[in-house]
Chains A and B, each alone.
Chain A
């Protein structure tokens, strides 16, 4: 029987990219209303996992299972995963020349409106309100998506998309990287605004700082394609002061045993 509070659940997921295994068996359960953070050194496989879950064709899940709200994620293509409620804020958002932010989002909102006209009717109002919340200038509506945007502007735009699409499970891949101090606050405000007891957030980050604003219930440490440690928010604080070396040593010791 499916636990209806379990929004996301994966078991022993392996990911391959370019013929190389970069995620080597990870499991995670996320319940309604929970926030989880994944931390880990560069190249440990965090983005690969996120991309594979979102259905990126270059990242294949070679074994394991993943469910979103009880539905088999791995049977769906990227479109269906998005419509099922999965959202990935990309670490490096792509520019789509010639497609304005407003047109891009209108179509994305329409795709999940299930024919509900009011969603489309309210689109302008909603996007304006979210611009305001994220302190994005209205002129961005008619700019081409991410084209010529600064690093920080791209990150804000990813959060704007999350606010517009209202996902069940949002994976935010280093949305805090490259943000100045004020922008970090604004983006955190956006994340907290969207977080509710009905959805859940999986935050990938390198820094404790964002976790001061977006308080996670659980922190997981990923190293070399595996979750090597899970704990509460205190784990992030420990990493901040000690770095990954201690966990690395302990993990290595464990493996030797």
Chain B
């Protein structure tokens, strides 16, 4: 395969083929998205999604640079050696230069589980990439999602065939290099199938990266079960924007969790569209800010179909000089009768100098629903700290215990096998610095 990389300028009409190895439709999609990014003004700070964060953080200063990459050969030295650790069904590593490493357990390969980088999958017509890519998070979504669609230089494709139970999690690691990471991933799950995906942005060994703009789209088949965990743990100098949508079809069951621990400015937009009757989405979020971190989380539960159920708990802990904004939208469409939606956001402030806002947003276009929401913002309770100290806890231990207790009920809602990972992430954040 010949991989020619053509030059590209920062002008709208300068967009030409980026990677000739890509199929025509993908090239065309990139071109249109590029125009859309280029034409769109910066988001208006008045629109609710941008009230709390400056769009300028996410502008790509030199888009050409983000695209000027040779696609490394899969077998050559830039392919990443990947070994499958026990307890996982598949393991993927993806970097901003389109280098990848993929390992899939034989058992699941034989069953038809397919995990690859998005770039290869787009060129492989055996898989339904074209009909799904950009359909949930595409051009109409917003300026930065368009940028991602035009310029993605990393990311995965996961395909789970019908009637396939993947017991162990698939672990996807998006590793930053010293350049802009534009990761786009797509997951398509067949009917009656089950899968768990851990989607790790930044990973443990987070290197400073000037900007991360990531997108994940997931389509679930009828009666499927998805557990999806995204982790944001970029280096503390990295601004990151992450948009994630899951479409839950008839009778499907979705448990999604986001954990925001790293980054300088971290903007997350996580949502599920309940598209078929009987669909259920449980969404849990944990965010922990320290230093000068700025967190901006938006969640969406969009009840398009009736007879759907959503539940959402987001906990935010802030220390040092960090701050957080949370907006949570529940939208229930006119015809979505007999839907149930629950939403709760709690914020714990460990010291003065932290700030949190919580804004529930309800757009409910039918009467036949039940919808509850609640939000709290408050400092750590000095009575609790005293109670613990009166039993011999040191001040720090008491504070740590109260924080652990604050997040623990949410952690216990997670699948058993993932709870300790989240406890560890919280502990590290508590002990850090």
The B interface, classified by DSSP as helix, strand, loop or mixed, is helix
- CB pair B382–A79 under 8 Å, yes or no, is no
- CB pair B389–A108 under 8 Å, yes or no, is no
Q: Which residues of A have CB within 8 Å of B84? A: none
- Interface membership of chain B positions 359-400, coded 1 if the CB is closer than 8 angstroms to chain A and 0 otherwise: 000000000000000000000001110111111111101100
Q: Which residues of B have CB within 8 Å of A28? A: none
- CB pair A108–B391 under 8 Å, yes or no, is yes
Given contacts A98-B408, A144-B405, contact A161 B391 (CB under 8 A): yes
- CB pair B389–A96 under 8 Å, yes or no, is no
Given contacts A56-B386, A57-B382, contact A96 B405 (CB under 8 A): yes
Q: Which residues of B have CB within 8 Å of A97? A: 405-406, 408-409
A77 touches B (CB below 8 Å): yes
Can you name the residue of chain A whose Cβ is closest to the Cβ of B406? Answer: A98
- CB pair B408–A108 under 8 Å, yes or no, is no
B407 touches A (CB below 8 Å): yes
- CB pair A77–B384 under 8 Å, yes or no, is no
Q: Which of A82-90, A177-185, A201-209 contacts B (4 or more CB under 8 A)?
A: A82-90
Q: Which of A77, A88, A96 is within 8 Å of B388, CB to CB? A: A96
- CB pair B392–A111 under 8 Å, yes or no, is yes
Which size class do B's interface residues fall under?
A: 20 to 34
Q: Which of B383, B394, B401 is within 8 Å of A104, CB to CB? A: B401
A93 to B392 CA separation, bound complex (whole angstroms): 16
Given contacts A98-B407, A98-B408, contact A82 B401 (CB under 8 A): no
Can you name the residue of chain B whose Cβ is closest to the Cβ of A99? Answer: B405
- CB pair A94–B395 under 8 Å, yes or no, is no
Given contacts A79-B394, A107-B401, contact A55 B408 (CB under 8 A): no
CB distance from A105 to the nearest CB of B (A): 8
Q: Which residues of B have CB within 8 Å of A161? A: 391
- CB pair A99–B392 under 8 Å, yes or no, is no
Which size class do A's interface residues fall under?
A: 20 to 34
The A interface, classified by DSSP as helix, strand, loop or mixed, is mixed
- CB pair B389–A79 under 8 Å, yes or no, is yes
Q: Which of B387, B389, B406, B408 is within 8 Å of A94, CB to CB? A: B387
A191 touches B (CB below 8 Å): no
- CB pair A165–B391 under 8 Å, yes or no, is yes
Give the contacts of A70-85 with B (CB-CB under 8 A).
Answer: 77-79, 81-83
A104 to B401 CA separation, bound complex (whole angstroms): 8
Kindly count the residue-residue contacts between A and B in the assembled complex, taking CB atoms under 8 Å apart. Answer: 73
- Interface membership of chain A positions 50-76, coded 1 if the CB is closer than 8 angstroms to chain B and 0 otherwise: 000011110000000000000000000
Can you name the residue of chain A whose Cβ is closest to the Cβ of B383? Answer: A94
- CB pair B392–A83 under 8 Å, yes or no, is yes
- CB pair A99–B387 under 8 Å, yes or no, is no
Q: Which of B384, B386, B401, B406 is within 8 Å of A78, CB to CB? A: B386
Can you name the residue of chain A whose Cβ is closest to the Cβ of B405? Answer: A98
- CB pair A107–B386 under 8 Å, yes or no, is no
- CB pair B395–A79 under 8 Å, yes or no, is yes
Q: Which of B392, B394, B408 is within 8 Å of A165, CB to CB? A: B392
- CB pair B401–A96 under 8 Å, yes or no, is yes
- CB pair A99–B389 under 8 Å, yes or no, is no
CB distance from A11 to the nearest CB of B (A): 23
A57 to B382 CA separation, bound complex (whole angstroms): 9
- CB pair B395–A98 under 8 Å, yes or no, is no
Can you name the residue of chain A whose Cβ is closest to the Cβ of B394? Answer: A79
A165 to B393 CA separation, bound complex (whole angstroms): 12
- CB pair A57–B408 under 8 Å, yes or no, is no
A75 to B390 CA separation, bound complex (whole angstroms): 15
A62 to B398 CA separation, bound complex (whole angstroms): 26
A174 to B384 CA separation, bound complex (whole angstroms): 20
A189 touches B (CB below 8 Å): no
A215 touches B (CB below 8 Å): no
- CB pair B406–A79 under 8 Å, yes or no, is no
CB distance from A171 to the nearest CB of B (A): 10
- CB pair A107–B397 under 8 Å, yes or no, is yes
CB distance from A150 to the nearest CB of B (A): 18
- 6 closest Cβ contacts across the A-B interface? A98-B405, A98-B408, A78-B389, A111-B392, A99-B405, A108-B391
User: Which residues does B use to contact A, with CB under 8 Å?
Assistant: 382-384, 386-395, 397-398, 401-402, 404-409
17 A-B residue pairings within 8 Å (CB atoms)? A55-B390, A57-B382, A57-B386, A78-B386, A79-B394, A79-B395, A79-B398, A82-B390, A82-B392, A93-B387, A94-B383, A96-B388, A97-B406, A98-B407, A98-B408, A107-B393, A111-B391
